[in-house]
Amino acid sequence: MPSSRKPFLGLRGNALSWAVTCVSGSAFLLFGYDQGLMGSIISTPYFLNAIDIKLTDAETISTIVSIYDIGCMIGCLIAAVLGVRLGRKQMITIGLSIMVVGAIIQASSFSVAQLCVGRIIAGFGNGMNTGNVPTWVSELSKAGSRGKMVATQLCIAAFGIVIAYWMNYGFFHLTGQIVWRFPVAFQASFALVALAFLPFLPESPRFLLAKERYEEADEVLAALADAPINDAGVQADKAAILTTIAHEDAKGQFSFLSIIYDKSGQKINIRILLAMSIQMLQEMPGINMVFYYSSVLFIGLGIADQTALVLGGVTSVSFWLGSVLGIFLVDKIGRKKLLYSGSITMLIGYCVYAPMISHGGDTQLWVAFGATCLVVAACGWSWLSVPWIYGAELLPVRYRHIGGALNAFTNWTFTFVIVKTGPIGLANIGWKLYIVYIVFTFLALPAVYFFYPETSGLTLEQIDGLFIKDRAHEVDEIERERAAKHGDEKGSIMAEATQLA
């Protein structure tokens, strides 16, 4: 007897796509929440006394903050190795469960050692999440809205920073250990929400087809298109994905060696390098110094503790508002133009900020604060989301989980570099550290111009054609046929079924 169960909570079409984005956003919210959390609690007396450190101990504080990033790096590598077997959704489920354990250990800490263990464990989980979530969302999204969907989850992550800062500001007026223990424990609630809904959402159809789970893939593709399984468009989508997988197989079996040295003609090593480098370009301008250490930075400039927390909260809101703008721009004006606009605006902000803090004075400090808001807003609409989008777009199906994982690994690697060396650099060379950030902000412009393709509006299969010459003409021909057959000038290459299925 056929089952009357409606898959995916009965959601179909855009409703299902947005459900995936929101649940993945809840998982990614943990990413932003930790940045805002540590940026605001590391200066509170109750936290410092509980683990017996001083605010002036830059070495220990930077270790506590940055050790999380090492855990994230390891989690990303685990995702790269296991993702091909377990799939996107199962890896995210494991990652969220590990994060809950890490949150409990951190919230119950009475020593630097226990806190560091908790942060490493939480990092394992978050590394798995960040290595899989953008790929999962991208593979479940339409070409014309894929950037918007990934940008939305990054916007939710940015809102996590806002929640953390303002929650900590509210707890600042209380007394006792609850001031920092509750905000640390609260992060588990986001993971639990995502865990509750994940079982009801679909796995990536591209992963399912790569694993020859055809019936499940049919069900997912039909639900995403809000059409019957036997619909011509659904079957064309399926056939084109299968054709792309067949092309990959024809180039040779999957091999981890291709990450370093690729002889298949798919340029796997070059595409991996691009996916990793874009995250380095995101991090080296030092934006995470603001989020992890904002209250410490403002206090160091002579601003009172409570005011510093407020300013940190305002900075987080500026970042989030910038990320909201990015949702509407990323597919409309394209990835590259968005990055150009962000880098140029960040350059202007940094060039104002550095001389202001070098001279001191009340007026200069407020100008510096305004420049900080400009820098983070510009990063929010551009560099926050686009590197993650590229990480999920640039690799073919069988290597996409590795591309996403190594993209996230690079993010956490250079986040570690920034949050570990930043406080030490400020202590030794002061405002001159920002000259380094200005240089890296500038270098991002020619790097994006010369090395990165524009992928806005292209299907994942079309993006594959950008790197493989013998596929490029095929992609164009299939697009023209699909447009003629379905009247959809921006349709995907899925009509290849009629030729090559």
**Secondary structure of residue 267 in the 3-state scheme:** coil
**Per-residue model confidence (pLDDT) at position 266:** 85
Q: Where are the domains of the chain?
A: 12-205+262-451
**Per-residue model confidence (pLDDT) at position 209:** 93
Query: In the predicted model, what is the mean pLDDT of the chain?
Result: 86
The DSSP code sequence of 224-255 is: HHTS-TT-HHHHHHHHHHHHHHHHHHHT----
Q: For residue 494, what are the CA distances in angstroms to 248, 331, 336, 392?
A: 16, 21, 26, 19
- The answer, yes or no, to whether residue 302 has pLDDT greater than 90, is no
Identify the band that residue 321 occupies on the pLDDT scale cut at 50, 70 and 90: very high
- 9-23 confidence digits (pLDDT tens): 899 999 999 899 889
Residue 354 CA to residue 439 CA, distance in Å, equals 12
Query: Which of 188-192, 206-210, 250-254 bottoms out in mean pLDDT, i.e. has the lowest?
Result: 250-254
Share of the chain above pLDDT 90, in %: 50
**Per-residue model confidence (pLDDT) at position 31:** 78
Q: What is the mean pLDDT of residues 202-229?
A: 94
- The answer, yes or no, to whether residue 148 has pLDDT greater than 90, is yes
Q: What is the mean pLDDT of residues 304-322?
A: 85
Max Cα-Cα span within the chain: 78
**Per-residue model confidence (pLDDT) at position 324:** 97
**316 with 161: CB under 8 angstroms?**
yes
- The answer, yes or no, to whether residue 439 has pLDDT greater than 80, is yes
What are the structure tokens assigned to 160, written together? 């996590």
Q: Smallest Cα–Cα separation from 20: which of 29, 11, 32? A: 11
Is the Cα dihedral 218, 222, 227, 233 positive or negative?
A: negative
- 351-407 confidence digits (pLDDT tens): 998 888 777 677 888 888 899 999 999 999 999 999 999 998 999 888 998 999 999
HSE, side-chain direction, 13 A CA sphere, residue 227: 12
Greatest mean pLDDT among 85-94, 239-248, 476-485: 85-94
**Per-residue model confidence (pLDDT) at position 382:** 97
Share of the chain above pLDDT 70, in %: 90
Identify the band that residue 175 occupies on the pLDDT scale cut at 50, 70 and 90: confident
Identify the band that residue 444 occupies on the pLDDT scale cut at 50, 70 and 90: very high
**Per-residue model confidence (pLDDT) at position 453:** 95
**Per-residue model confidence (pLDDT) at position 470:** 59
What are the structure tokens assigned to 300, written together? 């160091």
Q: What is the mean pLDDT of residues 241-260?
A: 80
- The answer, yes or no, to whether residue 4 has pLDDT greater than 60, is no
- The answer, yes or no, to whether residue 3 has pLDDT greater than 60, is no
Residue 386 CA to residue 420 CA, distance in Å, equals 25
Q: Smallest Cα–Cα separation from 19: which of 2, 32, 7, 31? A: 7
- The answer, yes or no, to whether residue 28 has pLDDT greater than 90, is no
- Number of neighbours of residue 375 by Cβ within 10 angstroms: 29
- 460-492 confidence digits (pLDDT tens): 888 988 888 655 455 555 445 544 444 443 343
Residue 490 CA to residue 329 CA, distance in Å, equals 18
Identify the band that residue 343 occupies on the pLDDT scale cut at 50, 70 and 90: very high
Options 3.40.50.40, 3.40.640.10, 3.90.1150.10, 1.20.1250.20; CATH of 12-205+262-451: 1.20.1250.20
**Per-residue model confidence (pLDDT) at position 478:** 47
Residue 422 CA to residue 70 CA, distance in Å, equals 16
Query: Which of 71-75, 94-98, 331-335, 461-465 bottoms out in mean pLDDT, i.e. has the lowest?
Result: 461-465
φ/ψ of residue 251, rounded to 5: -80, -10
**Per-residue model confidence (pLDDT) at position 416:** 87
390-415 b/e (C-beta count within 10 Å ≥ 16 → b): bbbbbbbbbbbbbbbbbbbbbbbbbb
Q: Would the pTM of this model clear 0.85, i.e. be above it?
A: no
**Per-residue model confidence (pLDDT) at position 469:** 67
More confident residue, 379 or 300: 379
**Per-residue model confidence (pLDDT) at position 174:** 83
Query: Which of 165-174, 295-304, 393-402 bottoms out in mean pLDDT, i.e. has the lowest?
Result: 295-304
**Per-residue model confidence (pLDDT) at position 405:** 93
Residue 430 CA to residue 407 CA, distance in Å, equals 31
Q: What is the mean pLDDT of residues 202-216?
A: 93
